[in-house]
Amino acid sequence: MHLKDQVTPQREDFFAFANDYPADTPVVMINILKFKDKSGKGEESGREAYGRYSKNVAPLLAKVGGKVLWAGNVNQTVIGDTADQPDTVLIVQYPSKQAFISMSTSNEYRAISEDREIALEYGGLLASSTINPAVE
């Protein structure tokens, strides 16, 4: 897994999500995060900068009806690239792609997004839908 230099979406990937993901259906965003050692703001770590971002994005998330379903630190890779594992996985649910797009393109989000960018070496984001494993 290449966990470097992928923090903001490519324009074409964002538009593909906006155009192709089903409308008016929940979207679960799986965030795969690898923090920089230093954010670029003095001695602050990437994890500290991301903590500030998390605190500031929480009201924006609530405003669009989103919620954090689960967050956890990656302690050990059992299957996969053990040399380049992520630090944290964060799972966030939005009521729809429109809610996610509304939040992530708002002026309020733009004002805080720099903290996410300076915090992360890698910030993968997977748009996912819930399935019922017994049916699928």
Which pLDDT band, with edges at 50, 70 and 90, does 2 fall under? low
Which residues are CB-neighbours of 91 under 8 A, at least 6 positions away? 28, 29, 30, 31, 68, 69, 70, 71
| φ, ψ for residue 118, nearest 5 deg | -80, -15
Q: pTM for this one?
A: 0.90
- Residue-wise pLDDT for 100-132, tens only, equals 999 999 999 999 999 999 999 999 999 999 887
Residue indicated by tokens 């009806």: 65
Set out the domains of the chain in order of their start, with CATH numbers.
11-17+25-128 (3.30.70.100)
Nearest to 39 by CA among 123, 122, 121, 119: 119
